[in-house]
Chain A
Amino acid sequence: MNVPENLKYTNDHEWALVEEDVATVGITEYAAGELGDVVYVELPEVGATAAKGDSIGTIEAVKTVADIYSPLSGEIIEVNGALNDNSELINHDPFGEGWIVKIKLSDLSELSELLNHEDYKKLI
């Protein structure tokens, strides 16, 4: 199972790539595998604010729907519009083209609450 070392993780199986005060967020390969074929992604609106742990959208697979929880607090500054037409990007490339949102972080101290790749590996 691929768990990139440069990313931070949550117990809900989201990942975050933090560059300065912007985090790119997606779900992990493990989560995508558990969900199965993703058929639809409900994205938040750009400009919306989210607190850590808020549901910012949903991922619909053939048999279930899962919430996307914001791993960190901040403002949604970009969403991956490619998912509207190609939701399966989440299955094919969860850590790359299957990214979901970019969040401008409002509280960098929250970073310490996320898991590193080793902790996350233990979780799965």
Chain B
Amino acid sequence: MIPMHYIPNTKDIEKEILQAIGVEKFEDLIKNIPDKFLQKCRIKLPESLSELEATKKIGRMAGQNLDTDSMVSFLGGGSYDHFIPAAVDFLIGRSEFYTAYTPYQPEVAQGTLQSIYEYQSMICHLMDMDVANASMYDGATALAEAAIMAVNKTRRNKVLVSELINANSRKVLETYLQTKDIEIQYLPELAGVTDLRKLDALLDDQTAALLIQSPNFFGNIEDLNGIAEKLHANKSLLILSVNPVALALLKTPGELDADIAVAEGQTLGIHQSFGGPYLGIFTAKKDLIRSMPGRIVGETVDIDGKRGYVLVLQTREQHIRREKATSNICSNQGLMALAATIYLALVGKAGLKQVAKLSLSNAHYLAEKIAALPNFSMAFEKAPFFNEFVIETPVPAEIIVKAALEEQFFAGVDLGKFNEKWKNRLLIAVTEKRSQQEMDDFINFLSKF
């Protein structure tokens, strides 16, 4: 083996290690694996490169990626191209924050705890809910944890799930629930929204909760007035998944009397990236706090009466309750929660409203213009939407998405990827970042189809 800068062991060290273990060569350590399996593992790698050569090669490969800095993006479906003030990245990049993980020796990390406490306070305010945890991996895992929490709390084993929950979140939910004895029953779609008329017939004494998302996967706003009342009369919980930016304009989970409200927090100052890191926002009513997964920071006073922060309700967590813990989540998405906190502090109430209003008016401008094109139409004429909508395309959406790349557009999400019968549907998201010129250029591009 050629010594490399990024492999710390030298030949001599390797020899010393093998000697200490009492074997001659590395292969002796794996000789209990039958040779026929080892043969399959042997990969023919090219000659090794120097660090300079490797950097050049990988840099060139990475350069082939397209991103939202060089493209005009109408991509959504759970992740949105909002503007991120430079201060967010600068501040979370400070070494005091950047290297810190979720606090395991919490009380010595007062700064970290305070930032999480501020995060929880802002999130409660935004969602209009009583309590928030210190965050979870992403919106999808927060949703799955919410379903499990409802099942544990109600001691029932069925959840009703809207078909218009984000398609990727649904997959995560199904993965989480498959090892538990929890049945999923889907509520179907009707004209772009969840067919809630079916709710009464599906509710029974085993229904732990209804899981619904608004704006839904198609971007449409669900009419949830009176839904919580129906669920509560059946002792079932309402679990609502929302877009935090939309809350600046729409009814909050609190106003809709949701018991648990979750969200993907990427829209709050976090970059779009494949696979994350994203941010799982998790909130609930106060009387559910002891059933809530994850970490929670509280404020208290020390022996001299000075303000201090602590991790509270740890008795629910794994390091104390072991296999009986409320959840196997003993962590939080610390850095991303901090990014959201800084973003919210920077833009403030008025700023968030402005982001939401601009996104909404841009989206409605674009939707009207596209619907006016001879070969395009809105997939759902009547459903109200926030900043995302579905159009019917004259050719498969896949073709439009590919052609758009040549013109420096990310045209949107091809819904055919999720369902064959949606192959002529394109999901388009618009944020405050889109200028009138960019939208008019995009309409001009679409008009060629």
Contacts and interface: CB of A to CB of B under 8 A. Distances in A.
A70 to B, nearest CB: 14
A62 B313 CA distance: 9
A63 B324 contact: no
A42 interface: yes
Contacts, number: 18
Contacts of A40: 290
A42 B315 contact: no
Given A40-B290, A42-B290, A61 B315 contact: yes
B251 interface: no
A109 interface: no
B82 interface: no
Interface extent on B, as a size class? under 10
B315 A60 contact: yes
A64 B290 contact: no
Contacts of B320: 63-65
Nearest to B325: A65
B316 interface: yes
Contacts of A97: none
A113 interface: no
Nearest to A48: B155
Nearest to A62: B315
B321 interface: yes
Nearest to A40: B290
A64 B324 contact: no
Contacts of B155: 48
A61 B155 CA distance: 23
Contacts of A64: 315, 320-321
Given A65-B315, A65-B316, A60 B324 contact: no
B438 to A, nearest CB: 55
A110 interface: no
Interface string A38-66: 00101000001000000000001111110
Contacts of A48: 155
Nearest to B313: A60
Residue of B155, B320, B321 with highest tally of chain A CB at under 10 A = B321
A63 B315 contact: yes
Contacts of A107: none
Given A42-B290, A60-B290, A67 B315 contact: no
Contacts of A60: 290, 315
Interface in B300-343: 315-316, 320-321, 324
B46 to A, nearest CB: 56
A31 to B, nearest CB: 16
Nearest to A65: B315
Interface in B153-179: 155
B85 to A, nearest CB: 42
Contact of B324 (A42, A61, A67): A67
A60 B320 CA distance: 11
Interface in B259-316: 290, 315-316
Given A60-B315, A63-B320, A65-B315, 11 more contacts: A42-B290, A48-B155, A60-B290, A61-B315, A62-B315, A63-B315, A64-B315, A64-B321, A65-B316, A65-B324, A67-B324
5 contacts: A60-B290, A61-B315, A63-B315, A64-B320, A65-B316
Q: Which 6 A-B pairs have the closest CB atoms?
A: A65-B315, A60-B315, A65-B321, A64-B320, A64-B315, A40-B290
